[in-house]
Amino acid sequence: MSETRIQIVLFDGFDELDAIGPYEVFDTAARLGAALTVELVTLANTETVTANHGLRVEPDRTLGKPDLLLIPGGGWNDDRGGVREQVARGELPEVVAELHAAGTTVASVCTGSMILAHAGVLDGRPATTHAGAIDELDESFESVESRTERVVDDGSVLTCGGVTSGLDLSLQLVERIADEGTADRVATRIEYDRSD
């Protein structure tokens, strides 16, 4: 069985839990024997990235061609840079579109879904985002079928609601990559009650 390569892309203003929660879930799954690797990456080479609440993180490398790319949210609802700045720049949505077209599964936590929407990968799909951004998703992207579930899995595109729902999303992905037992063991290890 080949190893699933997961990359979580970081940018200044990302929400800490949106990225670090899933990272811990994936790393714990790997330590329990799941055939996956997880890395924190950036678009351009940089020594540190400063998150929304001030945490500074050293990324592992620059973005490559992962099997699964996870996009955190952050900054959208409080105009503190983050996702809004990434959308305005345009480079990250463009890269997301290219990777998805080449076969990479893409997932977002919280308002990271706005990057997916601007990349065009949510067109004609069901999706969710943070409750504070769902109206804007509806108004700005008429072809997106917005939902209020914690996790929306549409095959090669997955989205989830605000912040802590990233744990549900990443556990669902562990179940997909490995099996339900591994996902349950990870949830037990991190003392998290999985949402149904």
What tens digit of pLDDT does each residue of 119-169 get? 999 999 999 999 999 999 989 999 999 999 999 999 999 999 998 999 999
Per-residue confidence (pLDDT) for residue 161, from 0 to 100? 95
Q: Is residue 1 scored above 70 in pLDDT?
A: no
- Given a contact cutoff of 8 angstroms between Cβ atoms, the answer to whether 58 and 77 are in contact is no
Position 13 confidence tier, pLDDT thresholds 50, 70, 90: very high
Q: From 158, 40, 175, 146, select the one nearest 108 (Cα to Cα).
A: 158
- Given a contact cutoff of 8 angstroms between Cβ atoms, the answer to whether 15 and 72 are in contact is yes
Q: From 141, 61, 76, select the one nearest 112 (Cα to Cα).
A: 76
Bridge-based pairing state of the strands 49-50 and 68-71: unpaired
Position 196 confidence tier, pLDDT thresholds 50, 70, 90: low
Average pLDDT over residues 19-33: 98
Cβ partners under 8 Å of residue 39, min gap 6? 5, 6, 7, 8, 59, 60, 61, 66
Per-residue confidence (pLDDT) for residue 194, from 0 to 100? 85
pTM for the predicted model, two decimal places = 0.96
What tens digit of pLDDT does each residue of 36-88 get? 999 999 999 999 999 999 999 999 999 999 999 999 999 998 877 899 999 99
What CATH number labels 4-189?
A: 3.40.50.880
Per-residue confidence (pLDDT) for residue 82, from 0 to 100? 95
What tens digit of pLDDT does each residue of 95-128 get? 999 999 999 999 999 999 999 999 999 999 999 9
Can you give the residue ranges of every domain in the chain? 4-189
Tell me how many degrees the CA angle 137-143-149 measures, rounded to the nearest 5: 55
Per-residue confidence (pLDDT) for residue 62, from 0 to 100? 98
Cα distances (Å, whole numbers) of residue 173 to 22, 86, 113: 10, 25, 17
DSSP string, 94-151: HHHHHHHHTT-EEEE-GGGHHHHHHHTTTTTSEE---TTTHHHHHHH-TTSEE--SSE
Longest alpha-carbon distance in the chain: 43
Give CA–CA dist 123/74, Å, rounded: 22
Per-residue confidence (pLDDT) for residue 77, from 0 to 100? 84
